Amino acid sequence: SQTIHQWPATLVQPVGSPLSLECTVEGTSNPNLYWYRQAAGRGLQLLFYSVGIGQISSEVPQNLSASRPQDRQFILSSKKLLLSDSGFYLCAWSVLGTTNEKLFFGSGTQLSVL
Amino acid sequence: GQQLNQSPQSMFIQEGEDVSMNCTSSSIFNTWLWYKQDPGEGPVLLIALYKAGELTSNGRLTAQFGITRKDSFLNISASIPSDVGIYFCAGGNAGGTSYGKLTFGQGTILTVHP
């Protein structure tokens, strides 16, 4: 069966520091991968998605970037965090190329920028 | 862009009562998904709908894909305390170039009193 791992679960970082959140998927190959951000427990905003290694699409302009160095690995980064980057970050995956598509989420990272 | 209006925003019910929530869209989707999120966790997929008019059940949960393809509802029968959480609808147009990107509703916060 497929599983998605996301870490760390909680992170407190000072303003201006770098960020690296990692997500890996097991039990499937060539998945679509996504990074979402959730503010205050409501509404999920799509930040990035990837359909393959090295292929990243950004949905909104922001202080963050994403990379996919391996098929089942997705990384969210920032060179210098802003206060507004605080939030709950969720990695997700789906199977590429299907019409009956389902999106599965990781357990999330609560990021606090102070 | 596409927008989803999810209602109600919150519900306070007694254990044993039935619950109904819905989402409406300004445009057509070919996929509706319903998720439940517990505090500090990622959303968990409850029901997926792929055809207009489709009615699908998962235990005490029932969801329907509206025939206009612009709405969906979720019913929970005989609620229990563990039903507490935030319920999200999500609409998508899987296949083609959409790559399963979803638009999420703002969530319905459900509180169940024993």
Taking contacts as CB-CB distances below 8 angstroms, the residues of chain A near B101 are: 34, 46, 49, 59
Token pair, residue B61, equals 């949960």
Residue in chain A closest to B95 (alpha carbons) equals: A99
pLDDT, averaged across chain B = 91
pLDDT band at B96 (very low <50, low <70, confident <90, very high): low
**Could you report the per-residue pLDDT of B39-87, keeping only the tens digit for each?**
889 999 999 999 999 999 999 999 999 999 999 999 999 999 999 999 9
Query: Which of A51, A100, A104 lies closest to B99 in CB terms?
Result: A51
Interface residue B56 vs chain A (CB under 8 A): no
Residues from chain B contacting residue A41 (CB–CB below 8 Å):
37, 39, 86, 107
Residues in chain B: 114
Element (H, E) at B40: none
Report the relative pairing of strands A10-13 and A109-113 from DSSP bridges.
parallel
From B35, B43, B94, residue closest to A99, measured CB to CB: B94
CA-CA distance, B47 to B66, in Å (whole number)?
Answer: 14
**Best to test chain B binding among A3, A34, A44 (most B CBs inside 10 Å):** A44
Distance CA B112, CA B100 (A): 33
